[in-house]
Amino acid sequence: MRLIIVVLSVISVTFAGTTVYLALELQAERERPLVASAPAPVPHVTPAMPAQVSQLRAAPPPATRQAAAAPPANVESEEARMKKARLESSRSLINALDDPQRREAMLIQYRVMMRNSYPRLASAIGMTTEEAERLFTLLALQQIETQELYARCELDLNCNLTDGSYIPAEPRARDIADLLGPDRQQQFDTFKNTLMERESVVQLRSRLPESTFPNDRAEALIAALAEERQKIHQEAAERRNGVNGHGNGAGMIFFSNDAPTPEAKFESAKENSRRMRERAAEVLTSEQLRVFNEMQDELLISLREQVLRKEDASSYATATVVH
């Protein structure tokens, strides 16, 4: 399980950092064979003119048409396609990293990504601007070198990614620990774990006068929301059904992963939103809570609209196949 999480994390970063991988995935999707979900409808034949009768007589019998439409026996399996895509992606990445100029360009790109991923980090954990920039560089190098390790393993016949034996040491971990020290390392880990809540608080503060929302209250709200989110995820893990999340820029709302209907998804989200509102009420003033509740209402409206759009699209697709 730990290996799966690591590999998925690496692939996620690769998606964001390289357009090559996206192109490969898009190509693989386009080449995916279509699977018929229902038999093709028999066309209705109107009284035919002689030419039409001739065409119908010349058409092959149904059995012949079905045989011609059947996929060839040597169609590439899904597993083989995915492996081929991974290998091509790994080769492309290694080719880029083996070029010093492209490697430097990737480092610049990832450093910008890290800087954008951790807004206001320096002030949150007590770093100078120079220290923060050094940390962003180390984090960028860590991401690149981790991808490189897994890509080279993917291309090495003697290296196995599937049996759990290949778990390389995390690159740059010692450099990051030396830069931060024990206290700031713990603060940084907490900061990373609360990025979602921090964005919600940024949005909340933008709707309120700055003087009415001091930093200590903001941090208290972040801690309360993060704690409740972790409880929601832990309870879902114990039920073995998991949760999905929906965000609209004003925060994130969660609903049960196995909710059977759109209405059930919405009710699950409403319940989790209620829990977040109650935790926020422990920290916020009445005016701050009013604005926070407005943001939660906006999240629920956004989720409901998304769920309904997906339901409409699914119904339309089904109707198109049937009719």
Mean pLDDT (the chain, rounded): 78
**Confidence bin at 72 (pLDDT 50/70/90):** low
Amino acid at 55: Q
Distance in angstroms (rounded) separating the CA atoms of residues 255 and 240:
14
As a whole number, mean pLDDT of residues 108-123 equals: 93
pLDDT score at 309: 81
**Cβ atoms within 10 A of the Cβ of 200, count?**
25
Could you tell me the sign of the dihedral formed by the alpha carbons of 227, 232, 233, 239, in that order? Answer: positive
How much is the average pLDDT of 83-87? Answer: 89
Give tens-digit pLDDT for 223-237: 999 999 999 999 988
- Binned at pLDDT 50, 70 and 90, residue 74 comes out as low
Domain boundaries along the sequence of the chain: 2-29+81-162+171-192, 195-322
> pLDDT digit string (tens) for 1-21?
444 444 444 444 444 444 444
pLDDT at 54: 37
State what percent of residues in the chain have pLDDT above 70.
72
Which has more pLDDT, 154 or 212? 154
* 75 vs 2, higher pLDDT: 75
Q: If we measure between CA atoms, which residue out of 5, 7, 2, 1 comes closest to residue 161?
A: 7
pLDDT band at 132 (very low <50, low <70, confident <90, very high): very high
Separation CA 212–CA 239 (nearest Å): 40
Buried b or exposed e, range 146-182, using 16+ CB within 10 angstroms? bbbbbbeebeeeeeeeeeeebeeeebbeeebeebbee
Whether the CB-CB separation of 141 and 134 falls below 8 Å is answered with: no
**Residue 291 or residue 260, greater confidence:** 291
